Chain A
């Protein structure tokens, strides 16, 4: 089975770009990835494209061929929809298609346009990742769903809003030099604690923003990289996907995300690494509590221990295992269908040395990305390793 290398990466600025069309956003990221890879247009055999709410925000279905065209590709394209894990799944399927020998070069990524809708529209669109009958009708919003998990976490394991505030402060700090990030500004624990409530116990700074943006990666087989002399020091060596019940009410434990554990175990096994080998990670912190549950599900912390990690300085840029050096969804932004791809882009740049925060992980060889859909009814984990 061939290995899979990241030949090139591209992002748009993540932020508020209400006037830009989805096709323009994706074209920018895809062209940047193509330029970074230096791979000829006609060598790209498939586009794996992630998008969640395009049918609502732009009234645009059938986005695969539209985006291939926008990116200047002449190949077939498939759109993947897996809520916030759409691009993670798109990338995973690209990895699988290269490993299988079906393709040698695949463009993977995603796009979401959100700020052209007002907050009401975006709130309503995000909620459709939950169970329509048993959750959305009962007033469950996206923040509300994570708030139910946060409350259950506090009840089961303890922890406080202040612990969560430290996660927001950390991720904002990490984004300061990230030119692609929506928020390049520091916040304080006090600011986070004093922010208006969204869904108790979560307040404004516990939540990721509403974001427009796109991500793209050119993935190639080892053989292709060698034959065409492609400079691609970062490989995707592990991939896994996990599932859980759609509605929170049907989960065994309301403060755990076993889909992420399932995905991580598959990815660790695939790459032949253990949680202890992972030196840096980008995890799906759509809400501060989500970062906590991710750290525990990935095996970095025992249940109940992850909540204090940022406060203790273990996951900060100068900590033992920095988490979300990009700023995470919290500060970098969360264009839903692009996020899983952007995590892979950020991790690639961190490992190969051209990220503003690369110096913090200059010796790191193994990185992990964790992308979650809905309230982690689906999860995708990738392991990335760099030639040093």
Chain B
């Protein structure tokens, strides 16, 4: 199964990552037809900065079953200068992540569910 809009966005993360912006400068992530902040239908693709800053995170000890093999892992919300991404950070990085840490985003596949997701790595 594919999720049109989302999958293309995820694919691009490993090379030319992008986000959507309206003329007011509000950032958002696909799939969207309108800006979630102001309802504008005029969305353009803008380059996603190469790295983002961790705004908040949690180390998950009791995972969803589809992440059973990953725990403890971190869920991270990072700011990429105008748009935020939510992604996973593997167990090898949970002791090092802090608010303010710099991360890069890439696409990954959850081997349990075969679904695709955002995976961060600490820079």
Binding site for B on A (CB under 8 A): 119-121, 123-124, 127, 133-141, 143-144, 147-152, 155, 196-202, 245, 247-250, 254
Contact = CB atoms under 8 A, between A and B. Distances in A.
A199 B86 contact: no
A136 B112 CA distance: 14
A152 B79 CA distance: 13
A134 B20 CA distance: 14
Max count, chain B CB within 10 A of own CB: residue among A134, A137, A140: A137
A290 to B, nearest CB: 14
Given A120-B68, A127-B64, A143-B62, 11 more contacts: A133-B6, A134-B85, A137-B115, A139-B70, A147-B60, A150-B58, A151-B58, A199-B58, A199-B60, A199-B62, A249-B77
Max count, chain B CB within 10 A of own CB: residue among A120, A134, A138, A139: A139
Contact of A138 (B28, B31, B62, B86): B86
Contacts of B70: 139
A199 to B, nearest CB: 4
B110 A137 contact: yes
B56 A151 contact: yes
A139 B36 contact: no
A148 B99 CA distance: 11
Contacts of B77: 148, 248-249, 254
Max count, chain A CB within 10 A of own CB: residue among B68, B77, B86: B86
A247 B56 CA distance: 14
B47 interface: no
A141 B59 contact: no
A249 B86 contact: yes
User: What 5 pairs across the A-B complex have the smallest Cβ distances?
Assistant: A147-B58, A249-B84, A152-B56, A120-B65, A137-B117
Contact of B75 (A121, A139, A152, A197): A139
